[in-house]
Amino acid sequence: MNPKYQSKRSKFAAHMKVPEQKYIRLQNDIEIAYLDQGPENGEMIVFIHGLANASMVWQWNTLVLSETLRCISIDLPGNGLSSRGDYNYGMSFYQDSVLEFLQALKIRKVTLSGHSMGGQIAIGCALTAPNLVKDLLLFAPAGFEYYTPEEAILFESAIRFQNFLNMDELHIAQSINASFFQTS
């Protein structure tokens, strides 16, 4: 990383308020971990992370936005600090979990922000509960990709959702570094 950028980032991070980790229990004994920042009243954005990630990926966004908006970022079940278990993981499960989470917090109107798989979950929530979801902020939402039949077979045989849930921290870090960081 560029030392000049690192210095600015470190100074910025030093002033960052780390929100208190909160938890709420849903049906089936699922505990959802979440971060809640900003003013209690007014407009709200709920942030939904992508595959094999956690609520903290939104920290730079919520740092700024929480000055004027209530920002809630969640850890989906099986991710971050939320419950792990033998759940029926899939888009419907996550969509139902997010909607139940919103209901448990008595949220009546919300903007959902989702990245990748989180974007696909947000779209599902909006289609299921259009009176609840005011707006969508989508960042590279999953589900719009097109694959040739050969590519689909390759992905289906090589990539399994359970693989991500069973990875330890070292393997996740190696995967992220290989995908996103340059070592030059």
- Which residues, in sequence order, are CB contacts of 123 under 8 Å at separation 6+? 114, 136, 138, 141, 143
116 is catalytic: yes
Cα separation of 6 and 13, whole Å? 10
Token reading at 54: 């956690």
Token reading at 134: 């005011």
Catalytic residue among 97, 116, 179, 184: 116
Give the number of residues written for the chain.
184
- Which residues, in sequence order, are CB contacts of 100 under 8 Å at separation 6+? 26, 27
Say which residue the tokens 């947000």 belong to: 122
Specify which residues 37 forms β-bridges with: 71
Cα separation of 119 and 141, whole Å? 4
Whether the CB-CB separation of 113 and 122 falls below 8 Å is answered with yes
Point out the residues that are catalytic. 116
